[in-house]
């Protein structure tokens, strides 16, 4: 079945908010066998919402809308849907009950605007919002379906997981999209493509290989429509793995920190970090994951040199002699943080993320990464680029990938 996603809100068109909803919905529906034909974003304007629905229904069987359903005057979706489906708003007691229970849970007072949320288009089926006050609306029209959801990400996500996806699956028989993904690192996209040119040429009909570059690594995704190709897909991914072996880090479409977390838990290892230039970003990536407390102990974010000396016992002479971005400094950092916080594994980074150039005119993007596993220490120098934000992200990924490879070796 073909799906289109329409996200609604002026904040998307003026670029104040990143459209993470479309990505999340696309990811969920794809993995449940839908094909996303297109994604579009329009402003809080009835005419544009109306037209977007009209255009999308020409190409797709199912439309998923988010946004524009709040209680404030700039939200136009509900009225536009009434227009589109030739219906009118009517008061819905069950929606009011749901709103009251949500407000009670949060200890908040209902006001007049909140009551407005209980008016819904008469011809829609209402799905109660489990997390918030704006109801989810399900419309049907000549075998096509439109679902309107709130734009608040966790409200929309809960509604999709618990209600909308199960209801859609009940209605449609779907061809499964099967794919295998792996992570490679330490090679450019064009070099990788050259290495894989013959492999791509020889792929069976219907198979496609995609290159998905991230900061510090590239994901390769091999995919095909139809569950019957699963065995063939497995064989092809084995062939691919042989070709990219020196750069291969891991299978799966998980994030580097998820892969690391699983490895640490499986081997019952503990981790600490000592971050200079990444300023806590490695710790943040790791602690975003629910089970972080099982293996992660803590981080010393030694942004100022004084903290490196005071809490990480980095020798002032080493900093003076070799510079703060050096093999010697990160190795002392990685060694001492694992001793101080008593962990089997540790990661340390020091680098110049820009825009200012480093000590002794060292160029922006120079970074040293050290990882420690039991008594072994490995350190590598990288040149990550010139954009501060990307440099921090790339360095964090490279550091995590370095530890994954190091643990994998033993």
48 binds a second copy (CB under 8 A): yes
Radius of gyration of the chain measured on its C-alpha atoms: 26
Closer residue to a second copy in complex, CB, 59/234:
59
254 binds a second copy (CB under 8 A): no
Distance CA 265, CA 271 (A): 10
Instruction: Give the span between the Cα atoms of 65 and 148, in whole angstroms.
Output: 5
Residue 265 lies near a second copy (rule: CB under 8 A): no
Of 15 and 246, the one with the shorter C-beta distance to a second copy is 15
Among the listed ranges 89-97, 235-243, 349-357, 398-406, the one in contact with a second copy (CB under 8 A) is 349-357
Q: What is the DSSP letter of 175?
A: P
Q: Is 292 in the site for a second copy (CB under 8 A)?
A: yes
Which of 140, 389 has the CB closer to a second copy?
Answer: 389
Distances, alpha carbon 211 to alpha carbons 184, 193, 231, 244, 246, in Å:
10, 8, 22, 13, 17
Sequential DSSP letters for 374-402: TTEEEEEEEE--S-HHHHHHHHHHHHHHH
Please report how close the Cβ of residue 171 comes to a second copy at its closest, in angstroms.
Answer: 21
Interaction between residue 399 and a second copy (CB under 8 A): no
Q: Is 280 in the site for a second copy (CB under 8 A)?
A: yes
Number of neighbouring beta carbons within 10 Å of residue 271: 27
Binding mask 358-387 for a second copy (x = CB under 8 A): -------------------------x-xxx
What is the helix (H) or strand (E) element at residue 216, kind and residue range? Answer: none
User: Which residues touch 44 (CB under 8 Å, ≥6 apart)?
Assistant: 8, 9, 10, 68, 74, 75, 76, 77
Q: Is 260 in the site for a second copy (CB under 8 A)?
A: no
Q: Which stretch binds a second copy (CB under 8 A): 163-171, 244-252, 255-263, 288-296?
A: 288-296
Site string for a second copy, 17-36 (x = CB under 8 A): xxxx-xxxxxxxxx-----x
Q: What residues from 194 to 223 belong to the interface with a second copy (CB under 8 A)? A: 194, 197, 200, 208-213, 219, 221
Alpha-carbon distance of 295 to 257, in angstroms, equals 12
Q: Which of 32, 255, 279, 309 binds a second copy (CB under 8 A)?
A: 279
Could you tell me the two tokens for 373?
């596993």
Binders of a second copy among residues 159 to 178 (CB under 8 A) are 177
């Amino acid at each position: 079945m073909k799906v289109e996603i329409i996200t609604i809100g002026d904040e998307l068109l003026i670029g104040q908010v990143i459209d993470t909803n479309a990505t999340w919905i696309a990811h969920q529906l794809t993995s449940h066998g839908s094909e996303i034909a297109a994604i579009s974003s329009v402003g809080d304007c009835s005419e544009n919402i109306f037209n977007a629905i009209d255009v999308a229904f020409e190409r797709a069987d199912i439309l998923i809308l988010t946004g524009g359903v709040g209680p404030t005057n700039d939200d136009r979706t509900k009225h536009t849907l009434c227009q589109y489906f030739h219906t009118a708003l009517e008061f819905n007691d069950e929606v009011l009950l749901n709103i009251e229970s949500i407000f009670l849970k949060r200890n908040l007072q209902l006001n007049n605007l909140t009551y407005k949320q209980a008016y819904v288009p008469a011809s829609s089926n209402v799905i109660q919002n489990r997390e918030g006050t704006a109801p989810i609306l399900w419309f049907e029209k000549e075998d096509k379906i439109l679902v309107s959801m709130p734009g608040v990400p966790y409200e929309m996500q809960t509604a999709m997981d618990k209600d909308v996806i199960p209801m859609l699956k009940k209605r449609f028989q779907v061809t499964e999209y099967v794919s295998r993904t792996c992570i490679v690192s330490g090679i450019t996209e064009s070099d990788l493509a050259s290495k894989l040119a013959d492999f791509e040429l020889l792929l069976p009909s219907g198979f496609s290989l995609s290159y998905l570059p991230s900061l510090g690594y590239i994901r390769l995704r091999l995919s095909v429509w139809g569950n019957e190709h699963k065995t063939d897909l497995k064989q092809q991914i084995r062939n691919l793995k042989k070709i990219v072996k020196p750069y291969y880090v891991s299978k799966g479409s998980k994030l580097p920190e998820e892969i690391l977390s699983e490895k640490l838990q499986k081997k019952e290892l503990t981790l600490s970090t000592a971050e200079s230039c990444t300023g806590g970003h490695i710790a943040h990536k790791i602690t975003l994951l629910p089970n972080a407390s099982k293996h992660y102990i803590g981080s010393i974010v030694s942004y100022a040199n004084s903290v490196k000396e005071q809490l990480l016992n980095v020798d002032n002479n080493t900093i003076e002699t070799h510079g703060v971005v050096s093999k010697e400094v990160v190795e002392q950092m990685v060694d001492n943080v694992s001793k101080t916080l008593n962990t089997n594994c540790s990661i340390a980074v020091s680098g110049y993320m820009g825009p200012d150039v480093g000590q002794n005119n060292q160029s922006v993007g120079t970074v040293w990464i050290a990882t420690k596993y039991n008594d072994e220490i490995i350190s590598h120098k990288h040149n990550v680029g010139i954009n501060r934000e990307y440099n921090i992200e790339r360095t964090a990924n490279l550091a995590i990938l370095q530890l994954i490879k190091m643990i994998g070796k033993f």
